[in-house]
């Protein structure tokens, strides 16, 4: 199975689904990333130019992906902090879907969470909305963005299922206990974004155990949670 992951920023996938990605890789699935922005608005060091931050974050995400076993990444280059679910973004995500022809798309939730507002960064919400619009109806419809076919030669593609991470109503809990160390290793690649790297491993284990408990897994297990949408 080929799985396309669409997220707003470098490090989003590692926080939200790093253990699941590592598990899927171990099961033989092929994973490809699509990053909407380069994350140039991230970090807290104002001595670094935003262009340099973008380069740093591309390198960090590429290294983190390699840790999990992902080697192909599409960077779309939209501006960090200003993502909107407009036709331009829908077109470019649709293009990547047509290029990669995934069996599954994993993306962010377009629904705001009031219990955990940090999951609902405006860029995350916009990316989730645009990605789901690209899955249905754009990428499968030859009359949506006809220039994708006429100018780029990208034929329509239907994605059978879409997984949503960081949303308010998850139903699918993936046991990531055996992959939590890989998730942490990937996250530690994002050095420019970590004010307390020494405390990160325990935070991730605690968070994973909270999710596992919510999903009814045994004590001491770690998990990540998703909503699975039938989009075939």
Taking the CB of residue 213, how many other CB atoms lie within 10 A of it?
15
pLDDT value of residue 213: 98
Lookup result for tokens 């092929």: 30
pLDDT digit string, tens, across residues 109-119:
999 999 989 88
* pLDDT at site 44: 84
Give the model's confidence band at 174: pLDDT under 50 very low, under 70 low, under 90 confident, else very high. very high
Those residues whose C-beta lies under 8 Å from the C-beta of residue 149, and which sit 6 or more positions away, are 142, 155, 156
What are the structural domains of the chain? Answer: 2-230 (3.40.50.10320)
Instruction: Write down the mean pLDDT value for the chain.
Output: 97
pLDDT at 130 over 90: yes
- 178 pLDDT tier (thresholds 50, 70, 90): very high
Q: And the tokens for 171? A: 């139903």
User: Any idea which of 117-121, 149-153, 176-180 has the lowest mean pLDDT?
Assistant: 117-121
Q: What is the pLDDT of residue 45?
A: 87
Q: What is the mean pLDDT of residues 84-89?
A: 98
């Amino acid at each position: 199975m080929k799985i396309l992951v669409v997220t707003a920023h470098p490090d989003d996938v590692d926080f939200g689904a790093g253990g699941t990605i590592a598990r899927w890789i171990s099961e033989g699935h092929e994973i490809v990333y699509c990053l909407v922005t380069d994350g140039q608005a991230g970090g807290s060091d104002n001595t670094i130019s935003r262009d340099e931050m973008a380069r740093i974050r591309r390198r960090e995400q590429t290294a983190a992906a390699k840790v999990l076993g992902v080697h192909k990444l599409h960077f779309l280059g939209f501006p960090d902090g200003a993502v909107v679910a407009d036709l331009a973004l829908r077109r470019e995500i649709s293009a990547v879907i047509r290029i990669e022809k995934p069996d599954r798309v994993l993306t962010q939730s377009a629904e705001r969470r009031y219990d955990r507002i940090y999951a609902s960064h405006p860029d995350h919400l916009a990316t989730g909305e645009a990605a789901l619009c690209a899955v249905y109806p754009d990428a499968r419809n030859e009359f949506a963005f006809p220039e994708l076919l006429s100018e780029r030669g990208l034929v329509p593609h239907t994605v059978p299922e879409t997984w949503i991470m960081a949303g308010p109503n998850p139903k699918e809990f993936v046991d990531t206990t055996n992959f939590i160390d890989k998730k942490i290793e990937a996250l530690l690649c994002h050095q420019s974004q970590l004010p307390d790297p020494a405390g990160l491993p325990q935070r991730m284990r605690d968070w994973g155990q909270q999710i596992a408990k919510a999903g009814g897994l045994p004590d001491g297990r770690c998990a990540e949670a998703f909503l699975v949408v039938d989009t075939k």
